[in-house]
Amino acid sequence: MHHLDIKVIERALKWANQGLTVWLCTVLKTFGSAPREPGAMLAACSTGDYLGSLSGGCVEEDFIARLQNGEFNEPVQRVRYGGDAGSANIRLPCGGRLEVLVERLAPNTENLTHLEVMHATLLGRQPLTRCITLDGSSKRFNPSNNTEPTVTFDTASVNIRIGPALRLIIAGISSVSAPCALFAQTLGFEVIVCDPRDEARQNFTVAGVEVQAVLPSVFIASGGCHANTAVVALTHDPRIDDLAMIEAVRTEAFYIGVMGSQLTSQQRAERLLRSGGLTESQVARIAMPIGLNLGSKTPAEIALAVMADIARLSRGKARHAL
């Protein structure tokens, strides 16, 4: 899940709490080169306001126009875009096709609770599967895990897995931190920067990033990581970097990395084993030197290498397969 999904559900909750009916749209299946993947969400209300994305824009425009013309009054509908004559009259520029689930959520207690559970799950709770019957008779949550498909469906029901949104914890502020945060935001990550140094925080001005005035190790130890979290240490300061690594390897974070040369990385590994109390298997979880070997020199190039490596791992791609 992406950070945008959190914003979508937060907006849906805001509308529902204002007494507005919400239409929650989820991409079920894509064919060809459709720009959004299964699980992508959009929320809309009767005023025509919406947040989220289903395609490159044409599907969103068609959906809002039809919504304002009084369509989508059923509790649950499946809508197809692109492809055969039975699909909505929209030809996707990419030549692809997609199928969308449209849920009409009246502002009642049941639907508010459902949205609140979705919100809590995206913020870091254990993954859940939304089980929705296509006749609109029921919707519920079942336990899930990150290995299940994002979406499965048949003629009677739809199952949509939701879990914690992608999160990047940047341990310490350096010249690489800002471009890394910007790349991460573009890739759909929630970004949290931790640094106790006042002067460092004053020079960090990336909008939309949560900045914590604490040691990264303290934030991580307090429960800041979930299974969809990447932790990167970028300061070259062992007082910040090493402590962050010691705490990060004790979490479910899917990517842990620290910046440094080959020699510095070897020395850090020895130090973490000798003084940090880590095991060899824990040290092996740490990518050091961090990132793909792109020959990076500038802060932006280093940040690109870092985020490329994180994206590779989040997509399940082995380094040797690149």
Are 91 and 205 in a shared domain? Answer: no
pTM of the model: 0.84
Are 158 and 174 in a shared domain? Answer: no
Are 63 and 137 in a shared domain? Answer: yes
Are 58 and 88 in a shared domain? Answer: yes
Last residue of a domain, one of 146, 162, 178: 162
Are 187 and 304 in a shared domain? Answer: yes
Last residue of a domain, one of 116, 137, 162: 162
Are 133 and 282 in a shared domain? Answer: no
Structure tokens at 306: 């870092």
Are 196 and 317 in a shared domain? Answer: yes
Are 74 and 175 in a shared domain? Answer: no
Last residue of a domain, one of 162, 192, 225: 162
Q: Which residues contact 202 (CB under 8 A, 6 or more apart)?
A: none
Mind spelling out the 3-state secondary structure of the chain?
CCHHHHHHHHHHHHHHHCCCCEEEEEEEEEECCCCCCCCCEEEEECCCCEEECCCCCHHHHHHHHHHHCCCCCCCEEEEEECCCCCCECCCCCCCCEEEEEEEEECCCHHHHHHHHHHHHHHHCCCCEEEEEECCCCCEEEEECCCCCCCEEECCCEEEEEECCCCEEEEECCCCCHHHHHHHHHHCCCEEEEECCCHHHHHCCCCCCCEEECCCHHHHHHHHHCCCCEEEEECCCCHHHHHHHHHHHCCCCCCEEEECCCHHHHHHHHHHHHHCCCCCHHHHHCEECCCCCCCCCCCHHHHHHHHHHHHHHHHCCCCHHHC
Are 59 and 117 in a shared domain? Answer: yes
Q: How many domains does the chain contain in total?
A: 2
pLDDT in tens, the chain (322 residues): 688 899 999 999 999 999 999 999 999 988 766 667 899 999 999 888 999 988 867 788 888 888 988 889 999 999 988 765 554 555 555 566 789 999 999 999 999 999 999 999 998 878 899 999 999 899 999 998 777 789 998 889 999 999 888 999 999 999 999 999 999 999 999 999 999 999 999 999 999 999 999 999 999 999 999 989 999 999 988 889 999 999 999 999 999 999 999 999 999 999 999 988 999 999 999 999 999 999 999 999 999 999 999 999 998 888 777 7
Task: Provide the domain limits for residue 292.
Answer: 167-321
Are 243 and 107 in a shared domain? Answer: no
